[in-house]
Amino acid sequence: MRRVIGIDIHRTFGDVVFWEDGRLRHAGRIDMTRTALEGFGKILLASDEVVVEATANSMAVSRVLAPFVARVIIANPLQVKAIAQAHVKTDKIDAGTLASLQAAGYLPQIWTPETERQRRMVARRYQVVRHRTRLKNEVHSILHAHLIPKCPHADLFNGRGRAWLAAQPLPDDERAAIDRHVRELDRVAEDLALLDREIAQDAIDDSAVNRLMTITGVNLAVAAGIMAAIGDISRFNSPQKLVSYFGLNPRVRQSGLGAAHHDRISKVGRSHARAMLVEAAWAAAKAAGPLHAFFVRIRARRGHQIAAVAVARKLTVLCWHLLTKHEDYLWARPALVANKTRAMQLQAGHPQQKGNRRGPAYAYNSKALRDREMVIAARAERNYEQFVSQWKARRPSSLLKNPLATEGA
C-alpha cells in the first residue's frame, strides 16, 4: 500500500496531509523541531514518501525524516505553483497538493546537493564581502559629502591610505563614524580570512576547482563557488543547460509569426554563482587573450555592462567544456596558474617557503616569464579576432540581422 505525506512547512510548524488510496486525509500540525519531527517519523512506514517544498529549513527536515521513510522529496515551489494554481489557498490545501502531485508523478522536484556545506561556506563568504563593500562605500560617501578629493593612493584602506584618511579635515562626528567603519573592516577581514581558509582546505585537492582556476579571471573563490553550485557536471547535458541554471540566458518572447525578442537575462538560479561569474568576467576582460577580445567586440555594440554579462555567459560555457572533457583551459598562463595555486595553499595553512625561488609558485614573479606569456596571450587574442572576422564574412545575411542568435551575447 503506497502512502504519500505532504508537509507544508513554515518556520515553526508544518501542516501534514496523507494521500492514501486516492484520498487525502488531514493529520494536523507538527512543530518544526528535531524532537517533534523524530517523533512524527517513528509513526511513519518504511515505504512512505514525504514531500516538502524547498524552503530555508527543508534540507534540515529532510535529514531528520530520511531514516524513517523510503525517501524525502523536495519540490520546486515555482514549478508547483505553475502546475497547481488554486483560488483558495491554505496550508492544508498546499500540503494536499504536494502529496497529490507526487502520487500522480507530476511533482517537479529539485536536486538535493551533495555540496551543501560548500554552498553554505560560499554564501557566507559572499555576504561578508558584501558587508565589507558597504562599509567601504560608507567611508567614501562621508569623504564625498565633505568635498574631500579622491585618495592619491591605490587603496584607501591600506597603511598609506589610512594615514592619508586620518589627516583629512572632518567634523568630530564624521571622524568617529569613519573610525567605527575602519574597526569593523578589520573585524570583517578576520572573518573573511577564516572563511577563505576553510574554503581553501576543502578545495585544495579538488581537481575540478584546480581545473577551473586555469581560466583567466577565475580565482579560488570563484572556482569553489561555481563547483558548489554545480555539484555534479553530469547533471547538465549541454552548456546551455548550465547557462540557464545560473540565470545567464536571455528571456525570449515570441508569439505567432513574429520574430523572437531577446530580453534581459532571466536571473533565475544560483545568484551567488552568477555574481561570481560576472566578477570573473570583469577580471578576464582586463587581461590579454580571447576573452578580452570577445569583451571588446561586444562592448563596441552593446556597452560595458552587457559585454561583462556576455563574458560571464561564455565563461559558463567554457566551464562546462573543461569539466565535461577533463581538460585545462587551452590559453592558460602557467605562471599565473602557479601563483593562484600557491595562494590557495597559503590560505589553506601550508607553511611559507622562504628563500625558495625555484619552485613554480614563484614563477609569476619572473618578469621575463610574464612577458613571454603575455606575448602568447596577445597572439591568441589576435587569432581570435581573425577567426571572428572570417566567420562574419561567411555568415548568411539572415544571421547578420540578429547577431545574438549565434553569439549568445
In order of start, what are the domains of the chain with their CATH numbers?
3-104 (3.30.420.40), 116-203 (no CATH), 207-407 (no CATH)
pTM: 0.77
Instruction: Give 306-374 as a DSSP string.
Output: HHHHHHHHHHHHHHHHHHHHT---TT--HHHHHHHHHHHHHHTTPPP-TT--SSGGGGGG-HHHHHHHH
Which three cell numbers mark 62? 529532510
Task: State how far the Cα of 19 lies from the Cα of 24, in Å rounded to an integer.
Answer: 5
Over the stretch 346-380, which tens digit does the pLDDT of each residue have? 999 888 766 555 555 555 667 777 778 888 888 88
Q: What is the DSSP letter of 70?
A: S
One digit per residue, the tens of pLDDT, for the chain of length 409 reads: 789 999 999 889 999 999 988 889 999 999 999 999 999 999 999 999 999 988 888 889 999 999 999 999 988 776 677 556 655 567 778 888 888 888 877 776 666 666 788 888 998 999 999 999 999 999 999 999 999 999 999 899 999 999 999 999 999 999 999 999 999 999 999 999 999 999 999 999 999 999 999 999 999 999 999 999 998 899 999 999 999 999 998 877 666 666 666 668 888 877 888 999 999 999 999 988 899 999 999 999 899 999 999 999 999 999 999 999 999 998 888 888 888 998 999 999 888 766 555 555 555 667 777 778 888 888 888 888 888 888 878 766 545 444 444 444 3
Q: Which residue is it, cell 577580445?
A: 293
